[in-house]
Amino acid sequence: MISGARIVVTGGAGFISSHIIERLIEKNQIVIYDNLKRNALRYSPIKEHKNLTMVQGDVLDSAKLDECMKGADICIHAAAIAGIYSVGNQVTRTMKVNLIGIYNALESVCKNKVGRFMDFSTSEIYGPFSYRSKEDDVAKIGPASEKRWIYALSKLAGEHFTHAYADDFGFDVVTVRPFNVYGPRQVGEGAIQQMVSRALNNEDITVYNDGSQIRSWCFVDDFVDAFIATMESTEAVGEIFNIGNPQATTTVLGLAETIIRLTNSKSKIVHKPHPGPEVEIRIPDISKSKALLKYEPRVMLEEGLMKASAWYREFN
Ligand SMILES: NC(=O)c1ccc[n+]([C@@H]2O[C@H](COP(=O)([O-])OP(=O)(O)OC[C@H]3O[C@@H](n4cnc5c(N)ncnc54)[C@H](O)[C@@H]3O)[C@@H](O)[C@H]2O)c1
């Protein structure tokens, strides 16, 4: 386990980062750099831990980010505008935050001689039809007329930036591509978060189109297992990893029905046309993560939904 390191986490107040930090905080100094547009950390028991420093700042503010990066051993770069509605409402800002933000982080890592850079990409880079996608498959991104794809494009450019910087400047990098991560403290956007919250209030649940779109759902604890392995493994350096759970795969309609059943909800399912381009199928191939990281997702869908629902019941 990594210990004695100073770890700067951009977007550290976010959902996934808050879980990663919980695993690292006892044995490391953690510096969060986040503009607090979202704040999952406030629900975490470690929010006032003695090893935690919180710096409120924007990744577009390169001087402040630089200051924060001083003395860091590792940078986890998770700050991003994420979620198709947030992206749709701020397309130019998405491109700026995700692309200029990673540029600023990489420049700062170079300047401050940080040893390792952890890049968060996305499964969206596989496009609308992604069945058992492997890391070296060709990325597919729709046209500029469809706002959704700006997110995938910004993240894909971030991957290329990351690995180019590593080649040119000689520090260690790893890219992860999360596939639909969910669980306690997801307070931004996410189908499970929205459906569970509505189910608990017996409100109508929207399912777009006929609900036959297919997704694989990865419980956050499984994601963090794999992520920590990417931080520790020397074999992971310079690599890209799909992290998801192909065994927890269902249609969107099946997901809504399962959530209603598990929460004993009286919610009704309401079908609406999807407002933009849709991803019809997204299932990862995780054989590379299994082989190199010994990653084995353990939390299947109903167990994960029960854990997530218990959290939303208490906190939302
Ligand atoms: N959750 C998923 O299923 C998923 C899937 C694919 C990729 N990802 C990627 O994983 C990372 C973490 O995702 P998450 O689900 O925890 O999202 P999140 O929205 O909960 O976390 C992102 C954090 O970044 C911060 N942030 C946003 N803009 C910023 C800016 N300009 N400057 C500083 N901080 C800023 C937000 O306040 C938030 O705390 C993101 O890079 C996201 O794109 C997540």
pLDDT tens across 252-270, in order? 999 999 999 999 999 999 9
CA distances to 3, 76, 86, 140, 278 from 215, rounded to whole Å, are 36, 26, 20, 17, 12
Q: Is the pLDDT of residue 97 over 90?
A: yes
Give DSSP secondary structure letters for 143-184. -TTSTTHHHHHHHHHHHHHHHHHHHHH--EEEEEEE-SEE-T
Atom of ligand 1 nearest to the CA of 187: 20
Q: Which residue matches tokens 């051993």?
A: 73
SS3 255: helix
Yes or no: say if 282 and 249 are a contact pair by the CB < 8 Å rule.
no
Q: Is the pLDDT of residue 144 over 80?
A: yes
Most informative mutation of 175, 181, 186 for ligand 1 (most atoms within 8 A of CB): 181
What is the CATH T-level fold of the domain 6-181+219-245, as seen in this structure? Rossmann fold (3.40.50)
Cα–Cα dist 102/163, whole Å? 12
Yes or no: say if 187 and 18 are a contact pair by the CB < 8 Å rule.
no
Structure tokens at 287: 């054989």
Confidence category of residue 189, pLDDT binned at 50, 70, 90 = confident
Ligand 1 geometric centre to CA of 11 (Å): 6
Ligand 1 geometric centre to CA of 153 (Å): 16
Most informative mutation of 10, 16, 36 for ligand 1 (most atoms within 8 A of CB): 16
Q: Is the pLDDT of residue 279 over 80?
A: yes
Yes or no: say if 158 and 309 are a contact pair by the CB < 8 Å rule.
no
Yes or no: say if 294 and 287 are a contact pair by the CB < 8 Å rule.
no
Q: Which helix (H) or strand (E) holds 243?
A: strand 240-243
Is residue 256 exposed (0-12), middle (13-18) or buried (19+ Cβ within 10 Å)? buried
Q: Is the pLDDT of residue 49 over 80?
A: yes
Ligand 1 geometric centre to CA of 231 (Å): 18
Closest-CA residue to 74 (of 142, 128, 20, 13): 20
Cα–Cα dist 292/112, whole Å? 29
SS3 271: strand
Confidence category of residue 276, pLDDT binned at 50, 70, 90 = confident
- pLDDT attached to residue 1: 86
Average pLDDT over the chain, rounded to an integer: 97
pLDDT more than 70, % of the chain? 100
Closest protein CA for atom 25 of ligand 1: 11
Phi and psi, residue 211, nearest 5°: 80, 15
Closest protein CA for atom 43 of ligand 1: 82
Domain boundaries, the chain: 6-181+219-245
Most informative mutation of 95, 102, 122, 217 for ligand 1 (most atoms within 8 A of CB): 122
Question: What residues does ligand 1 touch, defined as CB less than 6 Å away?
Answer: 10-11, 13-17, 34-38, 40, 58-60, 78-82, 97, 101, 120, 122-123, 178, 180-181, 188
Closest-CA residue to 303 (of 225, 217, 223): 217
- pLDDT attached to residue 188: 87
Yes or no: say if 23 and 230 are a contact pair by the CB < 8 Å rule.
no
Closest protein CA for atom 42 of ligand 1: 82
Atom of ligand 1 nearest to the CA of 82: 43
Ligand 1 geometric centre to CA of 193 (Å): 15
Beta partners for residue 222, in sequence order: none
Closest protein CA for atom 12 of ligand 1: 78
Could you count the other beta carbons within 10 Å of the beta carbon of residue 264? 9
Q: Is the pLDDT of residue 20 over 80?
A: yes
Closest protein CA for atom 21 of ligand 1: 14
Yes or no: say if 102 and 79 are a contact pair by the CB < 8 Å rule.
no
Q: Is the pLDDT of residue 196 over 90?
A: yes
Closest-CA residue to 118 (of 232, 214, 282, 287): 232
38-55 average pLDDT score? 97
Atom of ligand 1 nearest to the CA of 13: 39
- pLDDT attached to residue 270: 98
Ligand 1 geometric centre to CA of 209 (Å): 27
Q: Is the pLDDT of residue 316 over 80?
A: no
151-174 average pLDDT score? 98
CA distances to 41, 224, 237, 286, 301 from 232, rounded to whole Å, are 24, 12, 9, 18, 27
208-224 average pLDDT score? 98
291-309 average pLDDT score? 98
Cα–Cα dist 205/286, whole Å? 31
Confidence category of residue 244, pLDDT binned at 50, 70, 90 = very high
